[in-house]
Amino acid sequence: MLRSGMLARAALRPTMARRAMPQAGRSLATSSDMITLEIDGKSISVPKGSSLIQACELAGVSIPRFCYHTGLAIAGNCRMCLVEVKPGPPKPQASCAMPALPGQKVFTNTDMVKKAREGIMEFLLANHPLDCPICDQGGQCDLQDQSMRYGSDRSRFHEITGKRAVEDKDMGPFVKTVMTRCIHCTRCVRFANDVAGVTDLGTTGRGNDMQIGSYVQKTVDSEMSANIIDLCPVGALTSKPYAFQARPWELKHTESVDVLDAVGSNIVVQSRGVQVMRIQPRPNDEINEEWINDKTRFALDGLKTQRLTTPLIRQGERFVPASWSEALDIVGEGLAKSGATGNQIQGIAGALADSESMVALKDLLNRLGSDNLTTDQTGGSSAPAHGIDFRSNYLFNSTIPQVEQADQVLLVGTNPRHEAAIINTRLRKSWVRGDLDVGLIGESFDSTVELEHIGTDLKAVKDFVAGKGDFAKKFAQAKKPLIIIGSAISEHAEGGAVYETLAKYVHANKNRFITPEWNGFSTLQRAASRAAAYDIGFVPSKEAAKATPKFIYLLNADDFDPSSIPKNAFVVYQGHHGDLGAQYADVCLPGAAYTEKGVTWVNTEGRTQLGRAAVSPPGASREDWKIVRAVSEAVGETLPYDELVELRNRMWDVCPSLVRYGTAEKTSAIDVGLQALVANAGKATLPKGKTGAFQKPIADFYRTDAISRSSVSMAQGSQAFTHKAWHTHEAELPLASHA
């Protein structure tokens, strides 16, 4: 018998309707319809529709639980959250599944409750193996903690001669399973079905024969799969790459920001000594809630391989190590010998370039008389033609949490599962509730929501704007419509026409798209540095875009078109990995990775956040802005800041939002920005590329940047999920090349 895992859409939506109940710490504080009840003799008011467990949390009473989780549907499996309720049946009640009602009296610490919790714990431990000394979850196991707090000191199951054993499952390269430890809380099943949007997990059997698995022994094919590791309250699901590496009490915790996509997920970097051991999510309801994607979590082993740890100077066909003074002298000599002046000096910023270093590099090139600043995306030099002077033209204006308010969404040339997996979970949540219809123009993909595929090219965009087709007619009636333009549209040969067409449509319907509470015109960036680059003005002037560079400065740039590098140009590469940029460099300057520096990042919605250093840079590596400051001395144009605070004062002058941390400022002049798109998009000097169908911007989710391309875990993820070739007994996969 199959249960839970193979739910159809019609069956799933009623299940998720239970999530309309306010969740603790989120919508409770905003509701005005309150009820009053008594908890342990204390009167408390809570929003109508709250569960008893939420009411107890608001009252400051800790209720044990295994199956209940604020981000998942209610299951009521474990019965650990029992409380005594009056008026009511003369037996304990599961507080997670019982609504709070006016006049109730709830008791959480009576003899009845204590005895009931001890009994539940006795049942849970009856078949649980005594693996605590060798279990990866030891030290952070809910079952371990709650058995100490709420359990009995003895068991009555003396007649049990052997404990139940369950065969382990192969869920892929990320999740290690010891299913004998499973207590059937079904958190993993509910997450896979409700949040990740894959029906790979479910339950089979009943009673003592119940097992959680994937039915046909397949991997959990989701870019969010490893969140079930955090959700598992026991050691049944743990991290395969992290297995037996460290105990939690050995690790230092540093709150930071993920930079492997443009969402800016909040993370906790856990380190031991000079090594990053683990990355886990840090709850933030405004961005990533309690989730992170698998690349964010597991690409950290790429921080240890193929690193640049000392300056390198090219001699013939090889690099030789050098001191910092020697390398900087070569940079100065290279600029002089190249004969580059003005716009012949080019700066290219990559996806992992932080805001401080981009401001410093822009100041340096401007002092050298150059406006030739661009990003390493295809067509980065064409950015000014897309109305980049207005933030509303390149940001995710609806903001991440408000995605859930949209009733109709049109995706144009994007795959949110890979470009922004966290935003995709928001779309999934809204679709499951039954509030959302989604249309797609572009290459189809395996979506976690039901898509209406409208077309693949510019003609489909024009037909949609003209109101042709059923989806276009429904979209025209939407109260909160949302258009999401993929980052690759600006790289498409017909991207300018797409921007122009959609901008005209939004402008003509601005009473629905643009209101004081809503902005339904959003661009989804996929690189962590891109929004900040546009804020800073790291784009070329029209004259500079036409210049042929003789001196090129690559700032963490590894995804540029190699044909754009002239053979005789002198190339400086500043970065932390020996990726594509290093192959074309005459001098390599080793920078610090995102876990090794305290710098500023701006996510796709324009939210400024501060990343913090968890470990020190390896070898002779230095923070990027300090390297640019040293280079400025070597080329004779010394920048006027020696300390980070001075540089951030300069950032305030350039763009005040760069130092307003933790906020996503509302964009202004939206109407003027749309008019600029209409006026300029058709004049775009886009790269010569294929016209026609809009392709997905990311071919391999697990290999999108220098860090993930250097990661063994990501190579295995690519093999398992992108190439569908995962086998348990395969030899360790080699690192994938840049190509």
pLDDT at 104: 93
Rounded to an integer, the average pLDDT of 303-322 is 94
Quote the pLDDT of residue 541. Answer: 87
Dist. CA 475–CA 334, nearest whole Å: 56
Q: pTM for the whole thing?
A: 0.90
Task: Give the model confidence (pLDDT) of 461-470 as tens digits.
Answer: 999 999 999 9
pLDDT at 680: 67
216-274 pLDDT, tens digit per residue, is 778 889 999 999 999 999 999 999 999 999 999 999 999 999 999 999 999 999 999 99
More confident: 20 or 134: 134
- Other beta carbons within 10 angstroms of residue 401's beta carbon come to 14
In this model, does residue 332 exceed pLDDT 50?
yes
By the 8 A CB rule, do 448 and 196 touch?
Answer: yes
Beta bridge partners of 215: none
Give the per-residue pLDDT at 688.
54
Q: What is the DSSP string of 66-80?
A: SS--TTS-----S-T
pLDDT at 164: 85
Residue 684, pLDDT score: 52
Residues whose CB is less than 8 angstroms from the CB of residue 727 and which lie 6 or more positions away in sequence, other chains included? none
pLDDT band at 687 (very low <50, low <70, confident <90, very high): low
Question: What's the pLDDT score for residue 737?
Answer: 45
User: Quick one: pLDDT at residue 727?
Assistant: 67
Once rounded to an integer, what is the mean pLDDT over residues 342-347? 95
**For residue 554, what are the CA distances in angstroms to 115, 242, 346, 574?**
66, 33, 9, 6
Check: CB of residue 5 under 8 Å from CB of residue 196: no
Q: How many Å apart are CA 291 and CA 448, to the nearest integer? A: 16
- If pLDDT is split at 50, 70 and 90, which confidence band does 9 have? very low
Tokens encoding 8: 């159809």
Mind listing the pLDDT tens digit for each residue in 710-727? 999 999 999 999 998 876
The DSSP annotation for 327-355 comes to HHHHHHHHHHHHT--GGGEEEEE-TT--H
Distances (CA, A) of 106 to 57, 603, 614: 12, 44, 44
Residue 519 pLDDT: 92
- Which domains are present in the chain? 39-109 (3.10.20.740), 115-248 (3.30.70.20), 312-387+535-594+615-661 (3.40.50.740), 391-529+667-680 (3.40.228.10)
The per-residue pLDDT for range 58-108, each reduced to its tens digit, is 999 999 999 999 999 999 999 999 999 999 888 999 999 999 999 999 999
Report the chain's mean pLDDT, rounded to a whole number: 88
Give the Cα separation of 266 and 283 in Å (integer).
7
| Mean pLDDT computed over 635-644 | 94
| pLDDT at 628 > cutoff 70 | yes
Mean pLDDT along residues 131-141: 92
d(CA 359, CA 74): 48
**pLDDT at residue 288 in the model:** 93
pLDDT value at 3 more than 70: no
What kind and span of H or E run contains 415?
A: none
Q: Give the pLDDT score at 678.
A: 78
Handedness of CA 492, 493, 499, 501 (dihedral sign): negative
Token pair, residue 552, equals 């090129």
* Cα–Cα distance measured from residue 658 to residue 569, given in angstroms and rounded to the nearest whole number: 33
Residue 671 binned pLDDT confidence (cut-offs 50, 70, 90): confident
